[in-house]
Amino acid sequence: MTDGVLQSAPPLTSPQPRWQRLWAGLFGTPLNAAVTLGCLALLGWAVPPLLRWTLLDAVWVGPADRCVDAAGACWAFIGEKLRYILFGFYDQDRQWRPAAAGAILLALAGISGMPLFWRRATLGLWLVGLAAALLLLSGGPGGPAVPTERWSGLPVSLLLAVVGLVGAFPLAVLLALARRSSMGGVRTLAVLFIEVTRGVPLIAVLYVATLLLPLMLPAGAAIDKLLRAQIAIILFVSAYLAEIIRAGLQSIPAGQYEAAQALGLGYWQSMRLVILPQALRTVIPSIVNLAIGLFQDTTLIIVIGLFDLLNTARTAAKDPAWLGFYDEAFGFVALIYLTVCVVASRYSLWLERRLRR
């Protein structure tokens, strides 16, 4: 009987080489072949003129006069306005301060993304790093203060996105747990906040924080405009992040809750040690996707008079000496956004594989 079962088992086959799987995906069926050939034809029509405009006929150095009659892009404009696009209204001799602040924020985000640093000491590192970044952006000791209205460029985009996501995370966890709570009042309040916040666009939330909130404050009281925008972004992101975390909590089998109770763990202990680590692991792609969208949505702060990376690039193209080079300005900023988004998506794939092992 055993021999018969063993003989009827299918033989083990080695996986196909990668080029065979790629060929099957591109030309395996008539429809796939037609789509592939159509895409190749579209690329053959669009890529050559794009290469001529971006590389072959482009102007790389020189004054604006050289770009007037050029058939290609004027990358000399980017070289001339690079500092303004990245750092906005900061004085040229003090632009190392926003550059250092942006590097600190990127370093904090990179360190926090590595499982090796998922410990309590990282929270202290965040507090120190964030304080240092804010001190640098505000002018720092020994120099004139820089009001937040003059904070602009890439550091502002990084500040709003990184602090917005990190600040929203603990609030989102509480909202997700409250929405699944057995206490009706707590659950109702959480549902109302999440649904109302997710039901309005971010631009409306920014308008409320900028125009309506000052009217609600007592006479003489004021909150900085950038701080109001940051709080609005944190509240807005927390509603979306709470739904992502709730989906992760719902994916955990009931046996995990029962096992935690059998070990004598209380509610908060079981959530911190057993349930939340598993739930967050399952929703990593959604969290990274939300972070990418948040970084892109920071461009909306222009409606309240603040300038992020995209808006400093647009302002740079209004310089009378370099008027009209919007394609180059927006193309350069798009490359920065594309780089950040690709790196974030690759990090998401790496972290999924790492946690799966």
Mean pLDDT over residues 149-171, rounded? 89
> What is the residue-wise DSSP string for 181-206?
-S-HHHHHHHHHHHHHHHTS-HHHHH
pLDDT 10s digits, 106-130: 998 888 888 888 788 888 888 898 9
pLDDT for the residue 3: 45
- Cα torsion 207, 212, 213, 217 to 10°: value is 160
Residue 64 pLDDT level (bands cut at 50, 70, 90): confident
pLDDT for the residue 142: 61
Residue 15 pLDDT level (bands cut at 50, 70, 90): low
pLDDT for the residue 350: 87
pLDDT for residue 333 is more than 80 = yes
pLDDT for the residue 113: 82
Residue 5 pLDDT level (bands cut at 50, 70, 90): very low
Residue 1 pLDDT level (bands cut at 50, 70, 90): very low
pLDDT for residue 8 is more than 60 = no
pLDDT for the residue 2: 45
pLDDT for residue 94 is more than 70 = yes
Q: Looking at residue 218, what DSSP letter applies?
A: P
Q: 3-state DSSP call for residue 58?
A: coil
pLDDT for residue 214 is more than 80 = no
Q: Residues 90-99: contacts with CB within 8 Å, 24+ apart? A: 90/146, 90/150, 90/152, 90/153, 94/139, 94/143, 97/136, 97/137, 97/139, 97/140, 98/136, 98/137, 98/151, 98/153, 98/154, 98/155, 99/155
pLDDT 10s digits, 259-275: 888 888 888 888 888 88
- Contact residues for 168 (Cβ-Cβ < 8 A; gap 6+): 233, 234, 235, 237, 238, 241
Mean pLDDT over residues 268-294, rounded? 87
Mean pLDDT over residues 222-228, rounded? 82
pLDDT for the residue 62: 81
pLDDT 10s digits, 300-318: 888 888 888 889 999 988 8
pLDDT for residue 172 is more than 90 = yes
Residue 191 pLDDT level (bands cut at 50, 70, 90): very high
Mean pLDDT across the chain, nearest whole number? 85
pLDDT for residue 70 is more than 50 = yes
Residue 140 pLDDT level (bands cut at 50, 70, 90): low
Q: Are 101 and 137 in contact (CB under 8 A)?
A: yes
Percent of the chain with pLDDT over 90: 20
Residue 6 pLDDT level (bands cut at 50, 70, 90): very low
Percent of the chain with pLDDT over 70: 94
